[in-house]
Amino acid sequence: MSVTQALFYAFAALTLGGGLFLLITKNVLYAAYGLMATLLGMAALYVFLGADFVGATQILVYVGGVVVLVLFGVMLTNRLSGQKILSLSHNRLAGYGLATLFLAGLGYAIHSMNWAEASTTPTEGTVKPIGKALMTDYLLAFELVGILLLIVLVGAAYVARLSGIKEKGHTTE
């Protein structure tokens, strides 16, 4: 077994272990740590599969944004109430059924895949072609999405300011 294969299996084990820990634990803070381990393992697997842009985006958006936001929310909420936040399982039967259907579909997809075509690996990274496409072919859509996100950010700040003013008892007029 080569070093590359050993690293791939180690990151696959990290991903599966983090996911299982996320499902098993009842403490929400520990579940957030399990989610972080799972997402980091997935980012490493994306890099191994030649999708380095997706791997970097996974780290920046999910690990750097979503998980940190969840951790801050859990830690601040935990600090305010002084009690541990626990998650309770509801609808286990529906969850097991959906998991079984998902795994059956995944097994079917793996079984019906043409592995001879999938064995080729890309020779160069994906960042340069994606960046070139975003700045040439999809420039208008890229700029419109940026403007839309700016409008959403300004609107969210405005709504947060209004709700803060109403909570303090001030009028907006």
Instruction: Determine the pLDDT at residue 80.
Output: 55
Angle formed by the axes of helices 68-81 and 28-48, to 10°?
Answer: 170
Q: Residue 79: pLDDT above 60? A: no
Same structural domain, 76 and 148: no
Question: Of 63, 78, 82, 65, whose CA–CA distance to 29 is shortest?
Answer: 78
Kindly state whether residue 133 falls inside one of the protein's structural domains.
no
pLDDT category of residue 40 using cuts at 50, 70 and 90? very high
Across residues 157-170, what is the average pLDDT? 72
Contact indicator for 113, 71 with CB cutoff of 8 Å: no
Q: How far from chain centre, in Å, is Cα 140?
A: 27
Question: Of 108, 111, 27, whose CA–CA distance to 71 is shortest?
Answer: 27
Work out how many domains the chain is built from and give that number: 2
Q: Residue 173: pLDDT above 70? A: no
For 95, the enclosing helix (H) or strand (E) is: helix 92-111
Same structural domain, 144 and 120: no
Same structural domain, 104 and 160: no
Kindly state whether residue 89 falls inside one of the protein's structural domains.
yes
Kindly state whether residue 131 falls inside one of the protein's structural domains.
no
Same structural domain, 27 and 53: yes
Question: Of 32, 39, 42, 34, whose CA–CA distance to 12 is shortest?
Answer: 42
Instruction: Determine the pLDDT at residue 62.
Output: 86
Q: Residue 64: pLDDT above 90? A: no
Task: Give the chain's mean pLDDT.
Answer: 83
Same structural domain, 80 and 150: no
Instruction: Determine the pLDDT at residue 21.
Output: 93
% of the chain exceeding 70 in pLDDT = 82
pLDDT in tens, 84-137: 666 666 777 888 889 899 989 988 988 888 777 766 665 677 788 888 888 999
Same structural domain, 32 and 111: yes
Domain holding 117: CATH number? 1.20.120.1200
Question: Domain limits at 169?
Answer: 138-173
Q: Residue 42: pLDDT above 70? A: yes
Kindly state whether residue 162 falls inside one of the protein's structural domains.
yes
Kindly state whether residue 56 falls inside one of the protein's structural domains.
yes
Across residues 7-25, what is the average pLDDT? 91
Same structural domain, 170 and 114: no
Q: What's the rounded Cα separation, in Å, for the pair 59 and 54?
A: 9
